[in-house]
Homo-oligomer: A and B are copies of this chain.
Amino acid sequence: MVSTSAFAEAATLVGDPARANMLVGLMDGRALTAKELAQAAGITPQTAGGHLARLTEGRLLAVEKQGRHRYHRIASTAVAHMLESIMAVAAGRGEIDRSPRQVVRVGPRDAALRRARTCYDHLAGWLAVQIADKLVAANYILLSSDGGALTAEGARFLSRLGVDLDEGMRDAGGRRGGRVFCRPCLDWSERRPHIAGFVGAAICRCCLARGWVRRLDGTRAVNVTRTGERVLAAELDLSIRR
């Protein structure tokens, strides 16, 4: 069986505050160096190095050597999914546990994150929830807590927008029997589902490729561009609040 020790170890790796910060910082799917992650976690590079070695040995992260740099990234979608689900539970805790616990990081940066960000390979935050709502309302996508699917009209709609529903299909296994599934992902800032999985990744790729949203400096936050604003308004009747 899966030893419960392996189970506990995986959780322990996530459970340390420094490591948690690094993992969260990698949730947008980018690959960062030890130094950058050390800064994100507020520790020295050598301490970060130790943590990263453990995370890599535990198969939560994968590294790519490039010259004298070592780029660390989330090892697999399974790990990303695990981190998402832990976030969902942590958010649920916060919902009830409003005791005067340590207030962590409330600032403009958080506002930007809540508004729109990437979550491993798909969009998240207020923007993503709005998009999901509009797509559901237009009957382009069906969503429930257990799963979701693209309708025929939805597939046509997304294709017309330029979303590539074939790319990486074999890897993602997002389609079988001619049907494109998509996974709902509970947004930790909105507490409502947005679109993840194969379809979510395709949408996110398209938005970035066409310049509708742009990554903000070096964070997970993204900004909607003027072009993106126009497209969202025209295609989804979605107005971006200023």
Contact = CB atoms under 8 A, between A and B. Distances in A.
Interface of A: 1-17, 19-21, 24, 58-60, 76-79, 81-82, 84-94, 96-97, 101-106, 110, 113-114, 139, 142-149, 172-177, 179, 181-183, 186, 188-189, 197-199
A170 to B, nearest CB: 11
B78 A82 contact: no
A6 B146 contact: no
Question: Oligomeric state, in number of copies?
Answer: 2
A101 B58 CA distance: 13
Contacts of A13: 15
A94 B58 CA distance: 9
A153 B186 CA distance: 30
8 contacts: A1-B106, A6-B91, A8-B16, A11-B12, A78-B186, A146-B172, A147-B181, A149-B149
Contacts of A173: 144-146
Contacts of A114: 1
A103 B187 CA distance: 38
Given A1-B189, A76-B92, A86-B82, A183 B14 contact: no
A174 B4 CA distance: 31
A89 B175 contact: no
B146 A93 contact: no
B2 A188 contact: yes
A17 B6 contact: no
A132 to B, nearest CB: 13
A14 to B, nearest CB: 4
Contacts of A148: 147, 181
A19 B8 CA distance: 8
B177 A142 contact: yes
Nearest to A178: B142
* Residue of A2, A6, A102, A176 most packed against chain B (CB within 10 A): A2
A3 B104 contact: yes
Contacts of A91: 2, 6
